[in-house]
Amino acid sequence: MVSRHMTAAGGVFNVQGPDAQAVKETVEDHESRLQVLDLIRAGTTTYSRSVRIPLPSLRKDGAIKDALDDAPGSSLLGLGDATAEVVKGNASNNNAKTDFAALQFVLPRDYKAGGTITVRMRVKKDTTLATVSDTCDVIAKLVGDGALGSDICATAAQQVTTSYANYDFTITPTGLVPGDVLDLRISLNSDDTGGAVNKAVFMSALWIIYQGIEAQ
């Protein structure tokens, strides 16, 4: 014999008999699902969302309307025309090279105001490390009314190796809201002062990872 006295979530639960445990687990599972839905509707459930940036979307630093040239230029990164090309910097040979590309990214409508933002670069040095250093870096500024704000990237330039790896750069999100435009300067840097390596730094992929929130 099974007797039961049940109310909505948070009420009295009293089931007896051989099926009591199964019924109890089923009800508790439904209550848990309802609690998750309530959190989503309240706007308190967030997720990490990743946006991969097509490399042809990158622009010349200082000339945001212009696509990258096939070969690196003076302080500029290059990107060839072939499918699946990688972004390349200038080779350093007893000197130092710092090369840039630019990108503007609009924070999506599902971005959680003040939520985390990370720029992820996949980078390596071609064949041989430079004598001093090989690094990648990000400068991030908020686009305002005809002007840019100060750099809000909290991560310093990172040393790379001769194998592709991901390098994360944290953006300080204070005050950022959906619809804000971030101006991003991506740099690949090689310092071979005193050497004769004559190799460049490559980037094969770029992502923007942000904290998203379910639409209410």
Predicted confidence pLDDT, tens digits, the chain (216 residues) = 444 444 444 444 455 666 666 656 665 666 666 665 555 555 568 899 999 999 999 999 999 999 999 999 999 999 999 999 999 999 999 999 999 999 999 999 999 999 999 999 999 999 999 999 999 999 999 999 999 999 999 999 999 999 999 999 999 999 999 999 999 999 999 999 999 999 999 999 999 999 998 765
For the chain, the domain total comes to 2
Cα separations in angstroms, 131 against 160, 193, 197: 13, 7, 7
Where in the sequence is the domain holding 77, given as residue range(s)?
46-213
Q: Which helix (DSSP H) or strand (DSSP E) does residue 44 occupy?
A: none
pLDDT, position 2 = 40
78 and 17 in a common domain = no
pLDDT, position 214 = 76
58 and 10 in a common domain = no
3-state DSSP call for residue 56? Answer: helix
193 and 92 in a common domain = yes
3-state DSSP call for residue 41? Answer: helix
3-state DSSP call for residue 34? Answer: helix
Q: Are 169 and 121 in contact (CB under 8 A)?
A: yes
Give me 200's structure tokens.
């460049």
167 and 200 in a common domain = yes
112 and 73 in a common domain = yes
119 and 28 in a common domain = no
Q: Which of 59, 73, 64, 101 is nearest to 188 (CA)?
A: 101
- Report the CATH number at residue 115: 2.60.120.260
111 and 33 in a common domain = no
110 and 185 in a common domain = yes
Using a 10 angstrom Cβ sphere, with 0-12 exposed, 13-18 middle and 19 or more buried, the burial of residue 136 is: buried
25 and 60 in a common domain = no
Distance of CA 63 to the CA centre of its chain: 23
59 and 16 in a common domain = no
pLDDT, position 60 = 98
pTM: 0.79
pLDDT, position 166 = 98
195 and 129 in a common domain = yes
| DSSP H stretches of helix in the chain | 20-41
Q: What angle do CA 201, 188, 154 make, to 5 degrees?
A: 135
73 and 23 in a common domain = no
